[in-house]
Structure 1
Amino acid sequence: MVAEAPGSVRLALAPNVVLLDPEPAVSSAMKEGWARQQSARFLQASTIQPLLRLLQRFEEFTGLYPWQWAPADGEAFIVHLRSGPKPIQLSTARSYEVVIELFVEYLLDRRYEWVETCQERFGLSPQVIFHEGNSVLHSVEYEGDPRRRPLTYDEVQALFDAADARPRRIHGQGRKGTLTALRDAAALKTIYAYGTRRTESSKVDLVDLRRHRKAPQFGQAGSMTVRYGKSSKGTPPKRRTVLLVPEMDWVVDVLDEWVHEIRPRLSPDRHPALWVTERVGRMSPRSINEAFVTARQDAGLDEDLDLHCLRHSYITHLTEFGYPARFVQEQVGHTHASTTAIYMGVSDEYRNQLLEASLRRRLGDDWDLK
């Protein structure tokens, strides 16, 4: 007995059943089969569902079924997304093309028998949609929004000052929300102090704050265990431990006040999350992002700055503090040093200091930098 491949026609479509409306039934079975194939790669449902939504979006845009799609349809779809009120980025266009391409490759794979099924039922076969001639080439290492950058030290301070001022303003107005505003300020400071991502920060528990034997003066804030780090497709979340550096030791008092004075007033009971809500839930990545946007607006900072810019700032500032590149890479959980370098945006002052130090080593104390 030969086992069927996940996603094959025989598993997605019941044999010897006459379909009253075959086109939508076969189209749905194709997407269901592909979802099974992706699940067999150990992709999570939270990863697969957005991919299926994109395929559904493409199908609705074209008004055609997968075996009717042609390259011109894919090209029209990308052009449409680029010309709307909120044009997609280059990297987004490529990711969409890759998803559609992977789905079509699945349909064309003879092991799943979709080609034969489409020929038999509709007299058509799926065809390649995106190819070298009409897809976005990956020609540069970084294609993110160039407006995303590290914050300067003054901007970080302005952001935190605005976050600290909000609880006082809310309390003075007699409105609800003082405790959550205090939480938001503490969360933003902690994200910067440890360089964590939005989702990583949301899933940090109290037990993830631990002492570090090399820095007992930091208490429970000596290190943070990140158990839900960003994962590659088909792999579990990457774990890492972020050590608190002396330059960020001010966060010790921030966390101590939050954990022992403010958080208990939200009555979290036995909830494990570090950042809890008034309804005794876990603060979501979206809520963390909204906290940043509110503080950014109150501080009058550039609207192109987003929460991830705090991570850029952390990497840049650790570099300017003099920490080796490998240490910084391990702190933020990057697999490749080139990724860490992309996040970096050191100041002119820092580069001048490096140049000055190099000249002193080579020429002694008599050099004169013009």
Structure 2
Amino acid sequence: MVEAMLRGFRAQQASRGLREETIAAREWLVRRFLIYTNEFPWRWTPSHVDEWSSTLTSEHHLAPSTIRGYQCDLRLFTEFITDNARYGWGDACEKAFGPGVHPMPIVHEWNSIAHLNGYEGNPEARPFTREELQRFLDYADDQVDRAVRARRKGALVAYRDATLFKVIYAWGLRRTEASKLDVVDWGRNPAAPEFGRFGMLHVRYGKAKRGQPPRRRNVASVMSWAVEAVADYVENIRPRFGCADHPALWVTERGGRIKPAEINARFESYRDALKLPKILTPHSLRHSYVTHLTEEGVDRRFIQVQVGHECDSSTAIYTHVSDDFMNTALRNAIAPALEPTAPYGKGR
């Protein structure tokens, strides 16, 4: 019966167009809850959720947002098996196990974490400062020089990674977006002919909405130094990997596509070697892109479109401007008030 319920739950989610990763994660969660309670779903009660949630907090020390996600997944499963009118699991349980034995709702407002904030990320998360970013990118470049001088393997990979981090920053990409780029995703931008074939980047694997395919967007090139770096990589370095028939922009020495986990590993290696704060992640490069363009006076709407945000509030979360920028903005804001003539009509 349990396996039949899980198969039905899987089919229901698949019919909604959810990704296999999402479906598998929810099934894993339900199976973990089954093991924890040592009870069948038709024997579950709200007290099981109370005890389980307490364990996730006190023993596993999970973040509230993670626990809420687990509770939501469990609620979806119990809503599925308690919807007797549509799926008939209540009748099936009573027929198999006796009158009154059927699944019941177990996740309620009073025993689950409410989603009250639009942003629940780590409050310590921040972009690179300009000095940190320069050190990081310089260090990545230095690894190429060291490998070449030592005449050892790894120079091509180091060059690839140095360019990869520049692209993540200079086009404001997510880690997965960058890993799935193909060479053909670069194109010309009539509004910026000076960048040639690297004037526009077509991101085909943007963050998807629930039940929808990955969103696409075009990101205009704005940093000439980064365009020069990626052009050099595509024209002079990538061909040396010997993967002419592979579409990926970032290829491995074994002829495959680089994976997000590999990006993380190389990033952490460089970050730790420089003794930079561990709170910095590859996503911090994307935050830095938004912040630095904001400090340079680039239009907010342009930045929002560049990074693929539907709401300006999302872009605002990414923005962490420096004290110098805030002080300059403050002086510009209060300057009119210091003028001798009142701005709204004549004084007495």
Q: TM-score, normalised by structure 2?
A: 0.92
Q: Does 1:96 align with 2:73?
A: no
User: Counterparts of 2:137 and 2:340 in 1: how far apart (Å)?
Assistant: 40
Q: Does 1:251 align with 2:223?
A: no
Among 6, 13, 22, the alignment partner of 1:38 is: 13
Among 234, 258, 264, the alignment partner of 1:283 is: 258
Q: Does 1:114 align with 2:89?
A: yes
Q: Secondary structure at the match of 1:37?
A: helix
Matches within 5 A, 1:206-221: 206-221=183-198
- Aligned AA (2:199): G
User: Counterparts of 2:6 and 2:148 in 1: how far apart (Å)?
Assistant: 52
Among 303, 310, 315, the alignment partner of 2:278 is: 303
Matches within 5 A, 1:221-370: 221-245=198-222, 248-363=223-338
Partner of 1:176: 153
User: Counterparts of 2:293 and 2:33 in 1: how far apart (Å)?
Assistant: 43
- Aligned AA (1:40): S
User: Counterparts of 1:328 and 1:207 in 2: how far apart (Å)?
Assistant: 24
Q: Secondary structure at the match of 1:226?
A: strand
Partner of 1:166: 143
Q: Secondary structure at the match of 2:256?
A: coil
**1:268, CA displacement in angstroms?**
0.9
User: Counterparts of 2:333 and 2:57 in 1: how far apart (Å)?
Assistant: 47
When residues 224 and 131 of structure 1 are mapped into structure 2, their CA distance, relative to the original with a 3 A threshold, is same
User: Counterparts of 2:155 and 2:94 in 1: how far apart (Å)?
Assistant: 64
Tell whether the 8 Å contact from 2:221 to 2:227 is kept in structure 1 after alignment: no
User: Counterparts of 2:65 and 2:279 in 1: how far apart (Å)?
Assistant: 18
Partner of 2:56: 81
User: Counterparts of 1:176 and 1:277 in 2: how far apart (Å)?
Assistant: 13
**1:39, CA displacement in angstroms?**
0.7
User: Counterparts of 1:65 and 1:169 in 2: how far apart (Å)?
Assistant: 60
Q: Secondary structure at the match of 1:133?
A: helix
When residues 97 and 163 of structure 1 are mapped into structure 2, their CA distance, relative to the original with a 3 A threshold, is same
User: Counterparts of 2:12 and 2:205 in 1: how far apart (Å)?
Assistant: 24
Of residues 170-179 and 154-163 in structure 1, the stretch that sits farther from structure 2 once superposed is 170-179
Query: What residue ranges of structure 1 are gaps of 5+ in the alignment?
Result: 1-25
When residues 159 and 133 of structure 1 are mapped into structure 2, their CA distance, relative to the original with a 3 A threshold, is same
Q: TM-score, normalised by structure 1?
A: 0.87
User: Counterparts of 2:224 and 2:58 in 1: how far apart (Å)?
Assistant: 47
Q: Write the deviation string for residues 237-286 of structure 1: whole angstroms up to 9, x where unpaired.
A: 111101112xx221012101210111111111211111111111111111
Q: Write the deviation string for residues 36-57 of structure 1: whole angstroms up to 9, x where unpaired.
A: 0011111122321112111112
Partner of 1:186: 163
User: Counterparts of 1:263 and 1:90 in 2: how far apart (Å)?
Assistant: 44
Q: Secondary structure at the match of 1:144?
A: coil
User: Counterparts of 1:193 and 1:52 in 2: how far apart (Å)?
Assistant: 38
Q: Write the deviation string for residues 189-237 of structure 1: whole angstroms up to 9, x where unpaired.
A: 1000001111111111111111111111112221111111111111111
Query: Which 4+ stretches in 1 moved above 4 angstroms?
Result: 171-175
**1:104, CA displacement in angstroms?**
0.5
User: Counterparts of 1:82 and 1:186 in 2: how far apart (Å)?
Assistant: 41
Partner of 2:105: 128
User: Counterparts of 1:262 and 1:79 in 2: how far apart (Å)?
Assistant: 53
Q: Secondary structure at the match of 1:213?
A: coil
User: Counterparts of 1:79 and 1:220 in 2: how far apart (Å)?
Assistant: 56
User: Counterparts of 1:293 and 1:266 in 2: how far apart (Å)?
Assistant: 24
> Once the two structures are aligned, what percentage of the paired residues are identical?
44
